[in-house]
A and B are shown apart, each in its own frame.
Chain A
Amino acid sequence: MILSETGVSRVNGYLFVLERSLKTFLPPDVVRDAVREIDSHLRERIAAADGTLDERASLERILAELGPPLRVAQAYSVERTIDEAIMTGHLVPMFRAMWRLAVTTMAGFAAALGLFAGFVISFAFVAIAVMKPLFPDNVGLWVYNASGIPHDLGIRFPAPADEHIVGGYWIIPISLFAGLLVLVLNYRGAKRFLIWWRNRRL
Chain B
Amino acid sequence: MSHETWQEQLRRGTLDLAILLTVSAVPRYGLAIIQHLEAFTDLVVTEGTIYPILGRLTREGLLEAKWVEGEAPHPRKYYKLTRAGAKRLNDMKTEWQAFVTKIDRLMDAAENDA
Q: Across the interface, do A37 and B51 meet the contact criterion of CB distance under 8 Å?
A: yes
Q: Across the interface, do B52 and A38 meet the contact criterion of CB distance under 8 Å?
A: no
How distant is A39 from chain B, measured CB to nearest CB, in Å? Answer: 8
**Which residues of B are found within 8 Å of A3, using beta-carbon distances?**
none
Interchain CA distance A30-B77 in the complex, whole Å: 14
Q: Across the interface, do A67 and B47 meet the contact criterion of CB distance under 8 Å?
A: yes
**Which residues of B are found within 8 Å of A79, using beta-carbon distances?**
52-53, 55-56
**Which residues of B are found within 8 Å of A75, using beta-carbon distances?**
46, 48-49, 51-53
**Which residues of B are found within 8 Å of A43, using beta-carbon distances?**
73-74
The reply on A71 being an interface residue by CB < 8 A is yes
The reply on A40 being an interface residue by CB < 8 A is yes
How distant is A33 from chain B, measured CB to nearest CB, in Å? Answer: 8
Interchain CA distance A164-B75 in the complex, whole Å: 75
Q: Across the interface, do A34 and B47 meet the contact criterion of CB distance under 8 Å?
A: no
11 more A-B contacts (CB under 8 A) besides A39-B74, A71-B48, A202-B5? A34-B55, A40-B77, A41-B48, A44-B74, A71-B46, A72-B48, A75-B51, A76-B51, A76-B52, A79-B55, A79-B56
The reply on A117 being an interface residue by CB < 8 A is no
**Which residues of A are found within 8 Å of B100, using beta-carbon distances?**
none
Q: Out of A36, A45, A84, which one reaches B75, CB within 8 Å?
A: A36
